[in-house]
Chain A
């Protein structure tokens, strides 16, 4: 069984979604229980995966994947173009392991958060479970085509989940989201086809070239066909740039839209704000990670030579996102919008970490993604608590909530301070690692000038500014809410909400105090990743 565990993890929610066909629209409790059960099983399976994971497996990035499943899926002859090969190819390493666990956990919490849903319950949960399958599928796919399939499959449920169950401007937001990410996907598609045409092995029996979408082949320069457009010695140029560089930037942009990177970020505030609470949790905690993961697994691993030369620009883009997102967050009056912008700011650290090309930086980037998964989920749930009660989330409509809602304010304090990078909570470790990477490079290599690190630290300051200001405006002072009718609805957290917040807060504490828990299993893979990048680097 353990050899099929990855497939089980991926398809378990979809199985649940199919089961929902046997329910009528009105058996809402049954539907919810099925959704909860299938996501819970997925989560338990992911924990089992962690327990069976060997942290020191493999001595090269290409051989470091575990629990690999590989079957030929589509294979046909294309005459002079060689053979067309798509594999069902899954595998996990230290990089994806914890993202899978995070996805499974957030999915479970999202089901609990949607427990009070009234309208169109069945279709909601079917789409929701489909979304879960496709997100986890992205993290585990080792075939580019399969990855792309899952990557596109994410769009469909999200589009409907925002467009049908969202807020007042939901159709605008969902279409904006769809178009932005579709553009990103198309950029990825172009490079995928180009890569497919450049990568292949000669089949000794038939003397034909067998092309494949195998990501591992694409990461290995030996598999590139001599003289093909994306081979390492390719002299082809596009507008004066080597084709490999063009391909890298196309991929980079494709994933960076999802991350997101300034100035391609404006889908994010709209989508997050208009989505219902559980969906914005999924968006922030998981969907942004697809972009980051894609950068690690695909853009950087396939084109390390190009990426290495542009580390400076990538890190600078990260700093731009950190500061720009922070300043924007500061200016918002809508709590949810503020948090959405803070997501942009925090994901900038992933780029800085990647751009530093150090083990610390890259580890920090992944850690930041995991930590942000926990923190942003909690942040959006915090907004959800308020919105559930009174359908309002303007910061200036509240004051002194701490005296009326002590439990809620306690959660808010922990989560806000985790997000602003208080040591001992999860947010700090990722930022520390990223900054260690950034300052390390500037000390040793001279590749990243120190203003990158200084800019990132500035961003941390801005983060502190807007969180503290929000705490002061909403939670401190005399208790006051704008409308009299809200008074009776302002109740402290109920059991179900504590149930959602507790695992997140526990995670925030554990990751912050003892990051070794996840870094031990991650470290080896990141080292291999950096070694892979370092081996292929070309000094300008």
Chain B
């Protein structure tokens, strides 16, 4: 029974996509209805799953068994992915209204959902890697969905290549791990050995994770991936695919040693901080959210690094809803503005403003999701973020190293930055008055636009996860994950309080800069060197695209010269010299060998001519020559004897 159920959950999105592809007119409805079935099945499955794993194993090729397995955390994420995918499908009906290639879009989206669900279900390193790659591939397909603009095509390629680099390093790590163990089942994996090979494996896997989850220094592909349609950004580049790295980290938590975990935690906090800083300087509505995603992923990575991995997974869950909600709101704004004004740069926040009264539902949802993101009480993000912060503090408490406290303190600082850039975005987009050229008309009402946004906003409220304002009541986690996480109690209240305070400060600061009358005049979009430096993501992307990639191209070009300059001329010269040699031989043949022969011939001819003289009818001549001959013989006899 369970086998069939999960097979249905896995394959329905793909089948739905295929059917939708073949019925272009109804593609959105068909694909969405398939996804709704998947979601219901996933919910149903989660409601009766017990502690036992669902396991399905098969022999992929002789001697190589792979398998699927689902436990509570993965079942929870399966529900998450199918639910958000379903909502995104619905939203896409609105977003892609009138697009010629909707059919193709739903096929790609279905394929992505299938791959992501497969990734969550697989229990074997190689199987996981297969879906890991397929997820990256479908992400590529969706980024280049509007491929006629070469910028999108380029963005897709760069996103795929960055992922490919880190994926292949992960692949190496997995293969080394596989080579040193008997089987590659994730549920059977023990800790890595402490020697060099174990460290290498750990680092390889870690690089794969930070590539997929867009951590420093591999985060530059994620903002570029925003070239895809906005619902895609919501599903793939905010809620699910980029969380795959965090998920893998969670799955493989057992194999890392504390030393490596410290590194993971530091990497996470560095990313979270840098990305939050960059986000504060962005002008593109989607890029702010993209960097914010990177920052939040850094939070989760840090959470796992400090051992609060259940909380990190919980944050993944809450983040998926509010970030998908924010992206869909952004999509709603972009779609609205691009219909009003097809030529304007619709993603630049500097040209927006005052949309609150035109898009009230979007505004409300945006507000709720944003409150969840910055982490104010009564919203979901608060609970999970608080959990990670508490985890980081207790980790720092236990640590021998005094520097360890810098992690939770920076994390607190990020709360301020997050609140600042989100407040800024809210004020620039929804408050003040519209700064674009055109006069805005009322939007068409569309439930496919509003329903998904509202659902995501509602799911970002705190009541679903915890009734109480503070404290250790985490019945949600206990119910869904089947574990009771260790939570420090009242001792942490000052920390929580300061976090709330910092968030409020950040919001106030953004109001001071952008909210006051006449103050939305782009004050902080100044062009001081430092801010340009930060705004461009510390020029990391410029470094990759300007130095690394061209030098690689140069290498390829130079290598190709070996063939055309070295080997081919050598071969050609050799053949030429052989031809020359044969010509020389030919000349030798003609001049020397043939020459000798003709010389002989000439001599013979001359001799012949001479001797023909003897054969004449002149008797006297014969007589004389006989005499001469006799004399010669006599003389010869005289001397010889």
Contacts and interface: CB of A to CB of B under 8 A. Distances in A.
B176 to A, nearest CB: 5
B335 interface: no
A398 interface: no
B134 A423 contact: yes
A495 to B, nearest CB: 20
A379 interface: no
A454 B179 contact: no
A331 B553 CA distance: 8
Contacts of B129: 423
A464 B568 CA distance: 27
B130 A439 contact: no
Interface stretch (B58-66, B357-365, B395-403): B58-66
A403 B104 CA distance: 12
Given A442-B179, A468-B160, A472-B153, A327 B556 contact: yes
Contacts of B171: 435, 457
A423 B118 CA distance: 13
Contacts of A330: 553, 556, 560
Contacts of B61: 429, 515-516, 519-520, 523
Interface in B105-161: 126, 129-131, 133-134, 137, 144, 147-150, 152-154, 157, 160-161
A257 to B, nearest CB: 12
Nearest to B553: A330
A453 B420 CA distance: 47
Interface in A486-534: 515-516, 519-520, 523
B197 interface: yes
Contact of A417 (B126, B137, B149, B571): B137
A436 B175 contact: yes
B157 A472 contact: yes
B559 A324 contact: yes
B606 interface: no
Interface string A157-182: 00000000000000000001001000
A464 B147 CA distance: 19
B134 A400 contact: no
B467 interface: no
Interface in B152-190: 152-154, 157, 160-161, 164-165, 168-169, 171-172, 175-176, 178-180
A389 to B, nearest CB: 21
A478 B144 CA distance: 13
A309 interface: no
Given A439-B178, A468-B157, A516-B60, A461 B571 contact: no
Interface string B53-86: 0000001111100000000000000000000000
A475 B171 CA distance: 29
Interface residues of B, number: 48
B172 A464 contact: no
A328 B172 contact: no
Given A423-B130, A443-B179, A476-B144, A461 B559 contact: no
A332 B556 CA distance: 9
A439 B556 contact: no
Nearest to B129: A423
A343 B279 CA distance: 45
B103 to A, nearest CB: 11
Contacts of B568: 266
Interface string A419-440: 0001110001100100110011
A453 B175 contact: yes
Contacts of A429: 61
B104 to A, nearest CB: 9
Contacts of B131: 423
A313 to B, nearest CB: 20
A465 interface: yes
A461 B168 CA distance: 7
A266 B570 CA distance: 11
A330 B165 CA distance: 16
A48 interface: no
A468 B559 contact: no
A450 interface: yes
Contacts of B63: 359, 523
Contact of B567 (A266, A332, A440, A477): A266
Contact of A327 (B133, B169, B172, B559): B559
B582 interface: no
A402 B172 contact: no
A240 interface: no
Contact of A465 (B126, B147, B161): B161
Contacts of A450: 176
B488 interface: no
A352 interface: no
A403 B148 contact: yes
Contacts of B62: 516, 519-520, 523
B555 interface: yes
B623 interface: no
B559 A454 contact: no
Interface in A444-464: 444, 450, 453-454, 457-458, 460-462, 464
29 contacts: A263-B567, A266-B571, A324-B559, A327-B555, A327-B559, A331-B556, A403-B147, A417-B137, A423-B134, A428-B133, A435-B171, A435-B172, A439-B172, A439-B176, A440-B178, A440-B179, A442-B179, A443-B179, A443-B180, A450-B176, A453-B175, A457-B171, A458-B168, A461-B168, A464-B164, A468-B157, A468-B161, A476-B153, A523-B62
Interface of B: 59-63, 126, 129-131, 133-134, 137, 144, 147-150, 152-154, 157, 160-161, 164-165, 168-169, 171-172, 175-176, 178-180, 197, 552-553, 555-557, 559-560, 562-563, 567-568, 571, 575
Interface of A: 176, 179, 263, 266, 269, 324, 327-328, 330-332, 359, 400, 402-403, 417, 422-424, 428-429, 432, 435-436, 439-440, 442-444, 450, 453-454, 457-458, 460-462, 464-466, 468-469, 471-472, 475-479, 515-516, 519-520, 523
Given A424-B130, A457-B168, A516-B62, 11 more contacts: A324-B559, A423-B129, A435-B171, A442-B179, A443-B179, A458-B168, A462-B556, A471-B157, A479-B148, A515-B60, A516-B61
List 10 tightest A-B contacts by C-beta distance, closest first.
Answer: A476-B153, A331-B560, A330-B556, A423-B130, A443-B179, A327-B559, A477-B150, A519-B61, A476-B147, A523-B62
